[in-house]
Structure 1
Amino acid sequence: MWKEAAAEALPEVEFRAPVDATALAEAERRLGRGLPAQLTALLMETNGVVGAYGTDVVWSLDRIVEQNLLFWSPDTFPGLYMPFDPLLFFGDNGGGDQFAFVLAPERPDIFVWDHEDDSRLWAARELEDYLHRSLAGGGDWYR
């Protein structure tokens, strides 16, 4: 389902081998929280989605874990940005802006974090909408 949705938006999209339930459980253990159901389902089909120009529209599971642990650490950006605790980052635009689910309160919407001004803006209704917009839109499709 997820591969088909991505390929519909961008026929030359690239996929990776899927992750298994053991890897997902270990990732959730390391993160200390569950992954959104839509993201889990996508990762079980493909461990990331690569769009035009090699953009990691959806990161690999390892990168999701590492990036979020980094951003959630209180020592990473002390006083520089608003807290990242309610967000789960999972992809980027190749230029520094990153996309995230909101975990608290839990919702299916996707938001973009602008690394230059620390704004967090709505970008898509849910993961399938995000795939269509990000893969077909190019550039700053979310502005």
Structure 2
Amino acid sequence: MWRELIGRLYGDAEFAEPASDGEIDRIERTLGQEVAADLRELLLQSNGVRAEYGSGLVWSVQEIIKENTEFRQSADFAELYKPFDQLMFMGDNGGGDQFAYVRAPEVPAGDVFVWDHETDERERVATSLADYLERRAGSDGDDWYK
């Protein structure tokens, strides 16, 4: 399903080999957060997807772990930004802003947020992974969510 949807929306989509359940479970163990069901399904079909001139439409398991760990452990970021513990970054716009799931009681599971690297704002931009992919594809530029 995910490959078909993304292939239809993004003519330049680059797919990877599928991730395993064990690899995806490593995200949960490392970050202490459950991987959203739709993200898990996508990663089981393709371990990350690049599109729009190589930007991280959806990151690989390794990128999710690396980027989230760096954001959470950076002393510089701790001084500049609110904590990142509730976020699970999973993609980017190629210009510094990141897309994430938010794990908080008041946030519906599966909603996708953008983190603005200049303002530290965190704003809901989609109600699901499919909604995020469709909205992003239907835009004219990197700042479709503004």
Show the counterpart of 2:20: 20
Shift, 1:74, TM fit: 6.3
SS in 1 for 2:77: coil
Counterpart mapping for 1:125-136 below 5 A: 125-136=127-138
Task: Give RMSD over aligned pairs.
Answer: 1.5
Aligned length: 143
State, as a whole percentage, how many aligned pairs show the same letter: 45
With the length of structure 1 as denominator, give the TM-score of the two structures.
0.92
Show the counterpart of 1:64: 64
Counterpart mapping for 1:1-143 below 5 A: 1-73=1-73, 75-105=75-105, 107-137=109-139, 138-143=141-146
After superposing on structure 2, the runs of 4+ consecutive aligned residues of structure 1 that deviate more than 3 Å are: none
Deviations 1:26-59 (A, max 9, x none): 2321222221111111100001111111111111
Indicate conservation of the 8 Å contact 2:94/2:142, yes or no: no
Indicate conservation of the 8 Å contact 1:91/1:100, yes or no: yes
The letter of the residue matching 2:144 is: W
Q: Which segment is superposed worse, 68-77 or 35-44?
A: 68-77
The one of the two structures with greater contact order (alpha-carbon pairs below 8 A, sep at least 6) is 1
Structure 2 gap ranges (5+): none
With the length of structure 2 as denominator, give the TM-score of the two structures.
0.90
Indicate conservation of the 8 Å contact 1:13/1:52, yes or no: yes
Structure 1 gap ranges (5+): none
The letter of the residue matching 2:28 is: E
Distance in 2 (CA, whole Å) between partners of 1:17 and 1:29 is 22
SS in 1 for 2:45: coil
